[in-house]
Chain A
Amino acid sequence: MAGSGHAPLRDDPNIILQVKDLEVEFPVGKGAVVHAVSGISFDVAEGETLGIVGESGCGKSTVAKSIIRLNSIKSGSVEYQGHDLAQLEAEPLRRIRPDLQMIFQDPISSLNPRRKIRDVISEGLAVWGDERGSWSRDRIEELMLAVGIDPKYGDRRAHQFSGGQCQRIGIARALALDPKVIICDEPVSALDVSVQAQVLNLLEDMKKRYGLTLLFISHDLSVVKNVSDRIIVMYLGKACEIGNADELYQNPRHPYTRALLASIPEPAPTVDPSDGDIDGELPSAITPPDGCRFNTRCQHATDICFTDEPQMQRIGDEDHYFACHHPVEVSVGL
């Protein structure tokens, strides 16, 4: 799985964020490094939702955090409005960051337990002053209403709210600085199913109302499909398949994408149950396999998969790219 190559990058004036050859490594002592992200390239158009899906350890959260430089980047570029965020000095980076907000997985621990939620939501404005963007500190109540939190509870603290309400507060906080891009890292994974749908609908509404671009990270394939225009499937620090959400689920070509779609409790109708028969466990990211990184578990692997890294290639004229030497042929749509 290799997933290197720039084929999926689009030549479109509406591209708001372009990540190119991103590499992230974390030292683990004695000279060893975890190859968390190893050369991934993608872009996001304005107003689009890009879903990133994969199992734990595939690097999806690292990609997200790298975009706003919450972890250091080894190499590669993150282009946002003419700036390379990967190279930016501290002060210019600080000035750009309000544009790029994040919503975290655990709604309760991502809110300061000692502060009133009104202050949590308006902290960004306290830092940047009222002149920035469309919200101001005296309009926080409007913002709370927009996400479905009654402003009369503004003096309460995080522990007095349920998980779903805390995630609404997290969304309000992310919106307060008028961001262009919001990165949502597993925003509904900690929520019960009945509340999950409320939060997903809220994200869709906020996206429309405030013209947002979303990066949506989740391990739940159904959730990702529901919110995304385009989806990247990641495995061990590489992208294996990128494409339009409906097209990708309709005609999954990469054996790993198919394995995921076949492994969920109610498998997608477009794959065969036997596609889910992948062996073993995720290999170590400290010593990832040569060639295609999926070769240790792939049913279709041959010699070439152990020596040559497959490059991203396009399928016809579709917005659909994969990196595999032995893509699974599908009967429809080709």
Chain B
Amino acid sequence: MSEPQLSVRDLSVRFPTTRGVVRALNGVSFDLEKGQMLGIVGESGSGKSVTAKTLMNLLPRTAEIEGEVTFEGKDVRALAASGQKHFWGVEMTMVFQDPMTSLNPVKKCGEQIAETLRYHMGRSRRDALAEAEDLLGQVGLPDPAKRVDQYPHELSGGLRQRVVIAMALACEPSLLIADEPTTAVDVTVQRHLLNLLDKLREERGMSMILITHDLGVARGRCDDVAVMYAGRIVERSNTENLFSDSRHPYTDALLRSIPRIDQPSHTRLDPIPGRPPELINPPEQCAYAPRCRFAQADCMEAVPESQGVKGMHEFACFHPANTDRGREALASNVAAGETAAGLPVTGYAGGGT
């Protein structure tokens, strides 16, 4: 098998704060093949954005980073240490959630794109502006010649996000990281933007990491999906498998807690009990155990290692859902009325029961 384009190994990130050390990432490992679209889903605080920012070398100086990131044979963290300027924004670029705050409000759209080209690619001002206009056309902005001379506030949210995408694409990156690119826009615009990203990725043979909290977006667009919880990837699989045959109880419960459009109105939802864990001084146990209907005594004693078929379907759980081991665990918890963590369980439709 050829080398993956991006390889992340045991990435850990800690932020010292006055309240203690926040363990934002705890040993994240994943590979990305060239041309692949990987979705990273999770709730706020699960570490999706910290993962992206670590890859992009955007974390504050106070962050304590451990682990390896290799991109096309280059050790990315060594590049960061040597002050490599023309890597981020050229080979690896990023699109952020809020297009208004990622654009400079007092600079014309064309200038902002041209700035990237002049700095990284050494283009002349005139060439860079012409190229910027061309890029705006490629991302589907109507009337690009007019748009280069407009300021971000003159554009709608959807158009602004297209400008940001044009900027990210300016130096022909081979990996684009999109962090919640469509969270701030309406569904009709979201559809257009995701279609655009799909098209550009295919045309350019680019790889993409799509970070989203919306499982529907990940399901519709990604080849593979990684689910994050409390700074770890708890499950990773090809998309179809993840949604039809999930192993981690968190994934399973997440899928069940979302209202579905094909269910009749007033269908009772099945929420995940409790709330996400604190990342300061977490106990040495499965982070999801206190909310998990499958939790057994062993979940409270150690952090489960990733298991399953590497590169196909991996999950970090001692009692995976939709397996005999998981069914046994759930049945014993239902019989006892509570889990090993003391969570009351009266019955659960999920997890292959």
A residues bordering B, Cβ < 8 Å?
Answer: 55-56, 162, 164-165, 192-198, 200-201, 204, 219, 221-223, 225-229, 245-246, 249, 259-266, 268-269, 276, 278, 280-282
CB-CB under 8 A from B272, the residues of chain A are: 194, 197-198
| A222 and B215 alpha carbons, distance in the complex (Å) | 13
Tell me which of B44, B189, B219, B266 contacts A226 (CB under 8 A). B266
Give the Cβ gap from B204 to chain A, nearest Cβ, in Å.
Answer: 23
A164 near B275 with CB under 8 A, answer yes
Chain A contact residues: over half helix, strand or loop, or mixed?
helix
On chain B, the residues within 8 Å of A269 by CB distance are: 262
Which applies to chain B's interface (DSSP): helix, strand, loop or mixed? loop
Whether B60 sits at the interface, judged by CB under 8 Å, is no
Q: Please state if A221 and B261 are interface contacts (CB–CB under 8 Å).
A: yes
Interface string of B250-272 (1 = CB under 8 A from A): 00011001111111111111111
Q: Does B131 contact A (CB under 8 A)?
A: no
A263, B188: Cβ atoms under 8 Å? yes
Select from chain A the residue with minimum beta-carbon distance to B268: A201
Question: Which of B158, B259, B266 is the one whose CB lies under 8 Å from A223?
Answer: B259
For A200, the chain B residues whose CB sits under 8 A away are 259, 269
Contacts of A262 in B (CB 8 A): 191
Q: Are A55 and B187 in contact (CB under 8 A)?
A: yes
Specify which chain A residues have a CB less than 8 angstroms from the CB of B188 in the assembled complex: 55, 259-260, 263, 276, 278
**A263 neighbours in B (Cβ, 8 Å):** 187-188, 190-191
Inter-subunit contact A266/B220 (CB<8 Å): yes
B203 within 8 A of A: no
Instruction: For chain B, residues 211 to 259, give those with C-beta under 8 angstroms from any C-beta of chain A.
Output: 213-217, 219-221, 253-254, 257-259
**Cβ–Cβ < 8 Å partners of A264 in chain B:** 187, 216, 261
* Contacting residues of chain B (134-170) with chain A, CB-CB under 8 angstroms: 142, 156, 158-159
Q: Given that A194-B254, A226-B266 are known contacts, is A265 also in contact with B259, CB under 8 Å in the complex? A: no
Given A162-B275, A263-B187, A278-B188, does the pair A194, B253 have CB atoms closer than 8 Å? Answer: yes
- Mind listing 25 A-B residue pairs with CB under 8 Å? A164-B275, A192-B44, A194-B43, A194-B276, A195-B275, A196-B258, A197-B259, A198-B272, A198-B273, A200-B269, A201-B269, A204-B268, A221-B261, A226-B266, A226-B267, A227-B266, A265-B190, A265-B214, A265-B216, A265-B221, A266-B216, A266-B219, A266-B220, A276-B188, A278-B188
Q: Output the nearest chain A residue to B42 by Cβ-Cβ distance.
A: A192
Q: Are B265 and A192 in contact (CB under 8 A)?
A: no
Asked if B258 contacts A197 (CB within 8 A), the reply is: yes
Q: Which of A198, A221, A222 contacts B271 (CB 8 A)?
A: A198
> Are B261 and A246 in touch, CB under 8 angstroms?
no
Interface centre among A194, A223, A261, A282 (most CB of B within 10 A): A194
